[in-house]
Structure formats: C-alpha cells, structure tokens
A and B are shown apart, each in its own frame.
Chain A
Amino acid sequence: GENVEQHPSTLSVQEGDSAVIKCTYSDSASNYFPWYKQELGKRPQLIIDIRSNVGEKKDQRIAVTLNKTAKHFSLHITETQPEDSAVYFCAASAVGTASKLTFGTGTRLQVTL
C-alpha cells in the first residue's frame, strides 16, 4: 500500500519568514495530494490540494508543488503569521482506492514573533 513520509517533524520560523514542509510517497499510482492544518484540539481542515495533472497550485500565501517523477510534494507558506502555528499533515491517495487517504506523520509549525 501507499506510504507517505513527511519532514520535518517540527519547524520553527520567525514571523514573516517562509516555511517549507516536504512529503514523499511510494505509490506511483497516487494522483491526489491534499494538505491539512490542525490547530490544537481541533479537527484537521483542508487548506490546499493538488492533483497529478498539475505541478503547482497557489492560494494566497500558501502553495503546493508536485514532482511526480521524484514522487514528492511540498507545502510552501510565505509571510508566515502567528496564526499559521499548527500541525500540518500531507496525504496521498491512489486511483481505485475510493479516495482513501494515507497521511504523513505531521509537522508542528511554530511561528515566533
């Protein structure tokens, strides 16, 4: 089955700096890659996703890039703010698995003033 690895496990940046979180996946059939943000004690919420027919997607301060050849995808957050502090999860799902997502182990992002 699919295996998703996520790095780093913790990331501390100063307010205004950029943050990058990287994930690799194992199943070359995977074609959907969402990112979720989970604030302390709350449910994960979808922040951005990308499908395998595009290489990059942007939504204001966040962007996701996908390299299918290398089987990795990354989340980029620019101009970080304290409210970006949370745990971020990447995930992947493959064709024929009924949208069943495999998640990475999460990255705890802390944005300091």
Chain B
Amino acid sequence: DGGITQSPKYLFRKEGQNVTLSCEQNLNHDAMYWYRQDPGQGLRLIYYSQIVNDFQKGDIAEGYSVSREKKESFPLTVTSAQKNPTAFYLCASSMDRDYGYTFGSGTRLTVV
C-alpha cells in the first residue's frame, strides 16, 4: 500500500467520543505528518514529527493529539474537544533531507 498504511478507511464517531486514527510506514522515513482535508480548503497541517518522541503543532492542532513512540508509527487522536471533526485525514511521511511526501490512502471520519 505504497509503504504507508492508514486505518481504518472509514470511521464513525459519536459526539463526545475520542477516536484514534492509525498511520504506519515501512519506508524508514524520519518525518511524519497529519493533514486534514476539507472540500475547497486544501490540506491543512494538524501535527508533524521529525524524530521519535518529538512532535510539533501544525496550523490546526486544537482538539487533536499525537504520539511518536516508534519511528514507524504516528497515531492521531481526535478528541471530543474538536468541534468539527468530520473530514478526510491524510497521513504522510518523508525523509528528513528529501522533501517529497508519500501519502497514505486516508481515513474518512464522520461524526454521527
């Protein structure tokens, strides 16, 4: 699956619940990213991580949390504090010196 796997493909969440989106890569990439995609708004950066045990907030981090305990994994938790979580979430990775991103296939989250 292109070396970077996101799961699940579709996710439904009830209001007030936290949900965790999985992102795993076997490309030996140092950096990983989470973007949110909404119609007409392009891709907006939620969080990114350059190395294990370190991550930085992106432009729209409020209501989200991440961890980077392993190089291969960068899970994203959408908390109940995120007011409008329905969106398409894309995970990506890149080598530290190679700017090109490889994207996962995405998770479509819907609040019901």
Q: What chain B residues lie within 8 Å of A100 (beta carbons)?
A: 33, 45, 48, 58
Q: What is the bound-complex CA distance between A49 and B98, given in angstroms? A: 11
A43 B90 Cβ-Cβ under 8 A: yes
B94 A43 Cβ-Cβ under 8 A: no
A98 B31 Cβ-Cβ under 8 A: yes
Chain B interface residue count: which class? Answer: 20 to 34
Q: What is the bound-complex CA distance between A43 and B40, given in angstroms? A: 16
Q: What chain A residues lie within 8 Å of B33 (beta carbons)?
A: 100-101
Contact residues of B: prevailing secondary structure: loop
What residue in chain B is nearest A43 (Cβ atoms)? B103
Q: Give residues of chain B (29-85) contacting chain A, Cβ–Cβ below 8 Å.
A: 31, 33, 35, 40-45, 48, 50, 58-59
Say whether, besides A43-B2, A43-B106, A101 and B101 are in contact (CB < 8 Å).
yes
Q: What is the bound-complex CA distance between A3 and B44, given in angstroms? A: 11
A99 partner, pick from B31, B41, B90, B103, beta carbons under 8 A: B31
B50 A105 Cβ-Cβ under 8 A: no
Say whether, besides A42-B105, A43-B2, A99 and B99 are in contact (CB < 8 Å).
yes
Q: What chain B residues lie within 8 Å of A99 (beta carbons)?
A: 31, 94, 96, 98-99, 101
B42 A43 Cβ-Cβ under 8 A: no
Q: What chain B residues lie within 8 Å of A103 (beta carbons)?
A: 35, 42-44
Q: What chain A residues lie within 8 Å of B106 (beta carbons)?
A: 43
